[in-house]
Amino acid sequence: MDLGTHFRNWDKSNWVIGSVVVWLFQISALVGISIGFQDWFITKTPLNLTIHVALLFWIFPEKLRKKLSLFTILFTVGMLIEMIGVATGIPFGSYSYGENMGWKVLGVPLLIGCNWAVLVFVTASIVNRFLKNNLLKAFLGASLMIVLDLPMEAVAPRFDFWTFPEGAPLINYVSWFSTAFLMHLFIQKEKLVGDYNFSLQLFLAQLVFFIYLTFFLP
């Protein structure tokens, strides 16, 4: 095997390494939370999300400039709409962020903007595997984000991520879907390819994590 082939095979295996890292962090957190170290692990949420961002940039095959520009746009849109939401209650309803999501700007953690971008990147990469029509891709991608948001909303107040005074209203989910749908239309127009294998593992790891916290943690 020549050196070029070796590095191409290494690149193809990056998603395996990244997926192992993601699952190790998620499983470790679940075990730690379950045996009584909830505070320690929950306060490490910013580190976990930062690792997801780093892995995404490492594994996705697009040129760095393209990844940075698309990520920055999605991050900025996510931050702006969340800032408006926290300040006015529009479009998600009245809510506020807690202290376990890291540094904030105008009441919104910077990692929330990162989370918007990561989720769009990941879900777009998943739907690209099965669909060709951009409208259908945007609809399914936004739907996947809602599937993940449901258990996230259930555990968020308990872990001081964010809180709706009377629980998340229906308008929160409608607005979440609408925002995600528009972000997906944008990302599909920009022809993000991504990495299906890593994206699927990251999505499933997050889903398992929040479902377990919602239904199985005492």
| Residues 122-163 pLDDT 10s | 999 999 999 889 999 999 999 999 999 999 999 999 889 999
pLDDT in tens, 32-56: 988 888 888 888 888 989 999 999 9
Q: What is the DSSP letter of 126?
A: H
Contact predicate 32/212, CB 8 Å: no
Distance separating alpha carbons of residues 139 and 212, to the nearest angstrom = 26
Burial class (CB in 10 A: 0-12, 13-18, 19+), 22: buried
Q: What is the dihedral of CA 56, 62, 67, 70, to 10 degrees?
A: -120
Nearest CA among 180, 206, 178, 153 for reference residue 19 = 206
Partners of 109 in beta bridges: 104
Q: Is the pTM of this model over 0.95?
A: no
